[in-house]
Amino acid sequence: MSQNFEKCGSMLLLQKAIKENKLLESKRNLINQKVYTESMNNVTIPVVVHVVYSNAQNNISDSRIFSQIQVLNEDFRRTNSDAINTPSQFQSVVADMSINFCLASKDPDGNPTNGIIRKLTNKSGFSLYDTTIHYNVTGGSDAWDSDKYLNIWVCNIYGGILGWAQFPYAGTKETDGVVINHDNFGVNLNYSSAYNLGRTTTHEVGHWLNLFHVWGDNTCGDDFVFDTPTQEQANYGCKAHPFISCQNSGDMFMNFMDYSDDDCMNLFTNGQKSRAWNCLINYRDKIFISDGCDTSNFSMSCDASIESIIHPSNNDSICDQKIYPAIVIKNNSSDPMYTLDINYRLNGQQYTYQSWSGNLSQNMSDTVYLASLKNVQNNNILEIEVSLPNNKIDLDFSNNFSSTNYYSNIGRTVNIQIQTDNYAQENQWYLYKEVNNSIIDSGVVLSNNTLYEREYCLTQGCYHFVIFDSGNDGICCNFGNGYFNAFFGDSLIGSGGSFASIDSLSFCISNENQSTNLNNLHDSVIEIYPNPASDNLFFKFKSQITINNPIFVEIYDVAGKKIISKKITSNILNISSIENGVYVLFMSIDSTKYTKKFVKQ
């Protein structure tokens, strides 16, 4: 539930403007007294969205912008899915406002546009009474002709305010429009807030159309609308109807001009419709002659789309520290497509840019493999957008965006194969993780002449594969052609099969997805003797090892049980206390890991 706070700055700006210019108050009073009752046919308002950003977080995606335009259209035409939640008491006064919105397709100079302006700023944010957001020279973005376009600025707003709008006769043409905090613009389900469904913009556009808060910004105040109940104050959260105040029969807390949670709002009224249309007819009348939504004189020959994201698929589980996206693009235009811009990102981070070039005729597709992105969490959202086919505006941007959700286990795929010989009952194998010596997997009951294949997603750390043969003749080659192989993907880590009682394989995975096979290194730099041993094991180190710190030693039996764990400071380890059998020795020397096998007898 939302907490009580001043989420809207529109009335504060209006009060400031009237205080500074008393003439505005008389003009405002004239507007407030007018009620428009004539025909209110549909109107479509061209919208230009100015994304003023200083980092990746507030450089919102095209898809968020598209979602906001959709929310505006649904809310102002009462096609919103939650309209069914309107209490029966208010069903007789709810209204289709007959107001539509489009992202501008033509700019003030008559050129094609997608209605989105992106401006990188050196300002980390903007505040309510700060007009710098409205000017290029002060780190903002210049308004398009505010008589013919609804300008919406999206940025980082300081002070807890979610947005504001300029009322009619309450400012200049350069500042006329709506300002919205980036997190509250569009449908933003990744943002944990009661105001993440785009209703902040619906509310502020209501102010731009001269609608007041339903409580009149006074205790039991007047919003100059005849069919909204008088109520005591702003409502927060989502009240249960009827919530009574000011001797009414229930606050209209679900009205878009209250402060309720986004998922609680669902209506405008007939009275608010009359007031908004009065604003359009008497103050914003040039909207009716704007051609900002007109595409009739433009060729639709530039139209690219994303047909699908083929990797990762939705709800995929990926074992990798990186993701390698792949998409299918399509040329929907009659002209060949030679170039295309592709922007993509993970989890709202900075976009990565990649260009495509080729030759696609109409309705032809191509698969594009994008450069890798680093997985930094388990649950991920990949967003991909295409734009500027042949370096021109794509006039149909409804098909330019796609996204997918996937899960990543940040590690690396390791495959192990074990082919048994004629005497598989003599064999057991184990896969250990070194950090806690836990057994990841094992095979203790095996069938003759059978191929066992295992696939693991292993995270950062070192691992040891150990195989035992109680017959002391390995798994190759006197009694069958047994073997074992281990792979990083398609790359062989190591293999074996010809041994006596025990063989092992060790490898590590780093946090940069680099993998190291430790076996050859270990065999070449350290020896243990005698083997078999009775009382003491001696270590012989090659010249490249310098021991500056104690050696940490652990010994495991064939069942994976830890037998010895100790620190030694010489090259001798006493093993007289352990029973006869086959063992695996793990040694840590100056952060380097070593694995050896030996027999106690």
Task: Give the right CATH number for 304-409 from 1.10.1040.10, 3.30.479.10, 3.30.360.10, 2.60.40.10.
Answer: 2.60.40.10
Whole-number Å distance between alpha carbons of 225 and 217? 13
Q: Spell out the residues 6+ positions from residue 511 whose beta carbon is closer than 8 angstroms to its own.
A: 321, 460
| pLDDT average, residue stretch 412-416 | 90
Flag whether pLDDT at 309 surpasses 90. yes
Sign of the alpha-carbon dihedral angle for 323, 324, 325, 326:
negative
- Rounded CA gap, 405 and 137, in Å? 40
- Per-residue confidence band for 385, with pLDDT thresholds at 50, 70 and 90: very high
Share of the chain above pLDDT 70, in %: 91
Cβ neighbours around 113 below 10 Å, total? 20
Q: What pLDDT is recorded for position 450?
A: 95
pTM above threshold 0.75:
no
Q: Which two tokens stand for residue 524?
A: 């070449």
Q: Write the single-letter amino acid at 396.
A: D
Confidence (pLDDT) at 1: 42
Tokens 């098909």 belong to which residue?
399
Residue 366 scores a pLDDT above 50: yes
Which pLDDT score, from 0 to 100, does residue 521 have? 36
Q: Dump pLDDT digits (tens) for 548-582.
A: 566 778 887 765 677 888 887 777 888 888 888 77
Among 47-51, 55-59, 513-517, the range of highest mean pLDDT: 47-51
pLDDT band at residue 318 under the 50/70/90 scheme: confident
Which CATH code fits 423-600?
A: 2.60.40.3080
Contact criterion met (CB below 8 Å) for 596 and 585: yes
Distance CA 225, CA 35 (A): 9
Digit-coded pLDDT (tens) for 500-545: 888 888 888 876 544 555 443 344 457 788 878 888 888 776 544 4
Q: The tokens of 203 are what?
A: 């509310």
Per-state percent for the chain, helix, strand, coil, to nearest 5: 20, 35, 45
Tell me the average pLDDT across 75-88. 97
Residue corresponding to tokens 């060729």: 299
**Which pLDDT value is given to residue 518?**
47
CA gap 55, 137 in Å, rounded: 19
Taking only the tens place, the pLDDT of each residue in 250-272 is: 999 999 999 999 999 999 999 99
Cβ proximity of 322 and 345 under 8 Å: no
Closest CA to 174 of 215, 145, 150, 198: 145
pLDDT band with cut points at 50, 70 and 90 for residue 591: low
pLDDT of residue 26: 74
Structure confidence at residue 214 as a pLDDT band (50, 70, 90): very high
Q: What average pLDDT does the segment 84-110 reach?
A: 95
DSSP 276-321: HHHHHHHTSGGGGG--TT--TTS-----EEEEEEEESPTTEEEESS
Mean pLDDT of all residues in 201-210: 98
pLDDT of residue 426: 93
Of the ranges 109-123, 221-235, 481-495, which is most confident? 221-235
Judge whether 579 counts as a catalytic residue.
no
First to last CA, the chain: 71
What pLDDT, on a 0 to 100 scale, did the predictor assign at position 520? 38
Candidates 78, 50, 9, 2; CA nearest to 149 is 50
Token pair recorded at residue 400: 């330019």
DSSP 85: G
Query: Residue 123's pLDDT band (boundaries 50, 70, 90)?
Result: very high
Equal fold, 304-409 vs 423-600: yes
Alpha-carbon separation of residue 161 from 126, 190, 271 (angstroms)? 10, 19, 27
From the list 204, 383, 385, 426, the catalytic residue is 204
| Domain ranges (residues) in the chain | 10-212+285-289, 304-409, 423-600
CB 506 within 8 A of CB 518: yes
Tens digit of each residue's pLDDT (9 = 90 or more) over 15-48:
999 888 877 777 777 766 666 666 678 999 999 9
**Is the pLDDT higher at 588 or at 504?**
504
| Per-residue pLDDT at 533 | 85
Query: Which residue has tokens 């490249």?
Result: 544
Q: 3.40.390.10, 3.40.50.20, 1.10.10.920, 3.40.47.10: which CATH number matches 10-212+285-289?
A: 3.40.390.10
pLDDT band at 93, cuts 50/70/90? very high
Residue 54, number of CB atoms within 10 A of its CB: 17
